[in-house]
Amino acid sequence: MSDCIFCKIINGEIPCAKVYEDEHVLAFMDIMQVTKGHTLVIPKVHKENVFELTPDISRNFFEAVTKVAKAVKKQLNPKGLNLINNNGEEAGQTVFHYHMHIIPRHGKEDGLG
């Protein structure tokens, strides 16, 4: 998708702070860090939301999400960690290329309540 920000990140048109990459998936730091270590994981194929995922894409994607979540836990040792995926504008989706937020929770210092 030529006008998709995340497709542009995948093809290198827009820079990102990459944390993980394999054949199917890319993970990078969210530009607006909700907490320290806030990371996005995206499939390399353009799919808008969870409803467009095939079993193969899901399998590869969640395998990578698990790897990245474990790496974040190992590196930052957060007290907890949220995995969040918004589907549709009503649900808070702003970038329409499927993605998972990995949000480490560091306790009171997050200011998230």
Closer to Zn ion by Cβ: residue 29 or 71: 29
**By C-beta, is 58 or 87 nearer to ligand 5GP?**
87
Beta carbons of 85 and 99 less than 8 angstroms apart: yes
Least distance to Zn ion, CB of residue 80, Å: 30
- CA proximity to 110, closest of 80, 84, 73, 67: 80
Inter-residue contact 101 to 83 (CB < 8 Å): yes
Q: Which of 52, 46, 33, 27 is nearest to 95 (CA)?
A: 46
Residue 6 sits in the site that holds Zn ion (CB under 5 A): yes
**Catalytic site residue 24?**
no
Number of chain residues interacting with Zn ion (CB under 5 A)? 6
Q: Does 34 bind Zn ion (CB under 5 A)?
A: no
Nearest to 102 by CA among 60, 48, 56, 61: 61
Nearer to Zn ion, 26 or 103 (CB): 26
Within 10 A of 85 (CB to CB), how many other CB atoms are there? 14
Site string for ligand 5GP, 30-59 (x = CB under 6 A): xxx-------x-------------------
The residues carrying an active-site annotation are 99
